[in-house]
A = this chain, B = another copy of it.
Amino acid sequence: MPRELTERQALLALNALPGIGPIALNRLLEGFDGDARAALAADRRKLESILGPAAAVVREREAHFDPVKEEGKMERSGVVFLGRGDPGYPRLLVEIGDPPVGLYRKGPYTFGNPCVAIVGSRRATLYGQSVAKRLAADLARLGFCVVSGLARGIDTAAHEGALSVGGTTAAVLGTGIDIIYPPENLDLYRRISERGAVVSEFPFGRQADKDSFAMRSRVMSGMCEAVVVVESDMYGGAMATARFAGEQGRLLFAVPGRIDQSTSSGCNQLIRDGATLLTKAEDLLQEIQYLGGLRPAPVSPPPGG
C-alpha cells in the first residue's frame, strides 16, 4: 500500500506517471470518480482493466516520483499545482478532449481574461517579430491575456509585446516548469511569472521532447479563444498549435507574408485552408465579438509600468 497521500499529492503522482498521457490518465481518474488517491491505491486487476499493460507504472510509481519532494520543490520556487476543479485552472482548457489533470503555475495570474495565443517560428524574421510584438501589445491593451510558449523568435516577441504595455501574458512550457529554455529568456521568464503566469503540465525536471512539445501545443490552443500564427514555415510547433486550434474549435488567424519567403509559407497555407487573414488586433476583436459578444475589459498599465 502506498503511504498516506493528500489528494493533491496523489494527483501530482498520477500526473507524473511516465508513459501515461492525458487520455489514459483521464480514463483512469474517471474509473475512480476523480479520486486520485483511490486510483493510486487500486489493485492491479482494476488498474489493468483500465490501463492495460501500462498499469504496471502505477504500481511502480514510488520508485520514480515522490510527491512530497515535488511539493518541496514547488514551495521553494513559488509554484502551485491546480487540478481541473481548482479556481485558476483555465476555463476553456477543461473543454478539450484530453485536458491535463493538473497544471503547475508560477505567477499570480489566474486566467480571468480571455486568452489569445500568439505563436510562430523560432527562426523568425524581423518582420515577424515586429508584427508579433505590436499585435501582442494591442491585444494586451484590449484586455486579452497573450499566451505563448517562451521560445525564441515569435514567442519571445509576443510575451515582450504584452509586457511592454503592462498587459497580461502567460507562457506555456513544453518542459518542467523549472527548466528555462532558451537560457537567454531567464529574465523574460521572471518578468512573466511576476505579473502573469508560467504554466506547465509536466513535473519538475521533465526535459523537452517531441511529445512534450505537441502536448504543450494542445494546451496553448485549448486555453485560448483564438490562436494567431504570426510567422511560420510549413512545419514546426506553431503549425501543430494551429491544427489543435482547428480540432478544438478555436478561432484561427494567420498573418500573411510574401509568397517568396518560406518563413511565411505556413501562414499563407493556413489562410488558404480557411484561417482568417489577420492584419491587426481589431480583426480578431471583431470576430470574437461577432461570435460570442465577448469583450474583455481593457487593462490600464500598472503604476510603475
Contacts and interface: CB of A to CB of B under 8 A. Distances in A.
Contacts of A145: none
Interface in A246-305: 255-260, 264-265, 268, 271-272, 276-280, 283
Contacts of A268: 256, 277, 279
Interface residues of A, number: 20
Nearest to A270: B277
Interface of A is mostly: mixed
Interface of A: 127, 130-131, 255-260, 264-265, 268, 271-272, 276-280, 283
Contact of A276 (B127, B258, B264, B272): B272
Contacts of A260: 127, 130-131
A279 B259 contact: yes
Which of A130, A265, A271, A277 gathers most chain B CB within 10 Å?
A277
Nearest to A127: B258
Contacts of A283: 272
A278 B278 CA distance: 16
13 contacts: A130-B260, A131-B260, A255-B259, A256-B257, A256-B258, A256-B268, A256-B271, A256-B277, A257-B258, A258-B258, A265-B279, A272-B277, A272-B279
A257 B257 CA distance: 4
Contacts of A259: 131, 255-256, 278-280
Contacts of A264: 256
Contacts of A130: 260
Contacts of A131: 259-260
